[in-house]
Amino acid sequence: MRAHLPSRLTRRAGDARSYRYVFVVTYGRSGSTLLMGLLNTIPGYRIRGENDNALHHLFRAYASVRDAYPKRAETAWSTGDPWYGADRWRPEEFRRSLVDAFVAQVLRPAPEDRVLGFKEIRYTTEHIRDLDPYLDFLRTAFPNSKIVFNHRLPTDVAKSAWWAENPKALERIKAADARLAAIPADDRHFHFHFDRIDDSLDTIRELFRFLGEEMDTKRVRATLETPHSYRPGERPVAAGSAAGRARTLARRVVVRLRRR
């Protein structure tokens, strides 16, 4: 039976439109790994980790073909034309093939999965300048999708891990956070705030309500008790500061995503 499993998975994953999707859009050290863990407490959810912006690269490949096609196709039938063959392009079929391949070979759904997705932290302007067209692509290529923007206090993020070594960290994080925050919340877009997690679990419950899912309190609390992206040797923060207050709230639910 095990020998037949890969082919079964490939056949089912070949129809990317048979799934629902959740995409976590954010920047590094925002608590996105914890958010991924929370989403994966939902039965049938398979929210993967980062893929180095692979899907954005596929979007750029599709956009290149889509944008060049109307300008080149009319004369590209001749072997004397430098764009020979462009008249045979099928941009939308190309997009669908890219999406199907990404789902089948990167997201790798299991037979019991009903909602797929991934989290990605490479959403600063240095990583993605064409944010609006890319989000349009996500919404169009994955029509049954929702986008969750993950936020964390920029001052806390700027002190965390590799950001602490970057003199322009706070400026970059504020810009990234503001760009995401400017996108209105609606039935397909939700803004999740890491710093608002507390023992009531109301922030998490609101997210699950947006997704149309029931929250398993026991599983959620167990996830909050599990270290996510833990890094030893982190510097403490002052108890009376905004960062300290956020840490106190996190400790109430034993969130161990710590700052370095």
Per run of 10 residues, the mean pLDDT along the chain (length 260 residues) is 44 74 92 95 98 98 96 85 92 98 97 98 92 98 97 83 69 92 98 96 98 98 83 44 49 42
Assess if residue 259 is contained within a domain.
no
Does residue 85 come out as left (phi exceeding 0), alpha (psi in the -120 to 50 range) or beta?
left
Q: Per the confidence metrics, is the pTM higher than 0.85?
A: no
Assess if residue 168 is contained within a domain.
yes
Assess if residue 180 is contained within a domain.
yes
Assess if residue 147 is contained within a domain.
yes
Q: What is the pLDDT of residue 39?
A: 99
Assess if residue 228 is contained within a domain.
yes
Q: What is the pLDDT of residue 253?
A: 43
Q: What is the pLDDT of residue 158?
A: 77
**Residue with tokens 């710093």, as numbered in its chain:** 195
Assess if residue 257 is contained within a domain.
no
Q: Is 189 exposed, middle or buried (0-12, 13-18, 19+ CB in 10 A)?
A: middle
Task: Report the distance separating Cα 116 and Cα 134, nearest Å.
Answer: 18
Q: What is the pLDDT of residue 229?
A: 67
Task: Please give the residue range of the domain that contains residue 8.
Answer: 2-252
CATH number at residue 91: 3.40.50
Assess if residue 20 is contained within a domain.
yes
Assess if residue 260 is contained within a domain.
no
Look up residue 102 and give its two tokens.
């990404």
Task: Report the distance separating Cα 243 and Cα 58, nearest Å.
Answer: 38
Q: What is the pLDDT of residue 259?
A: 39
CA atoms 126, 129, 132, 135: torsion sign = negative
Domain total for the chain?
A: 1
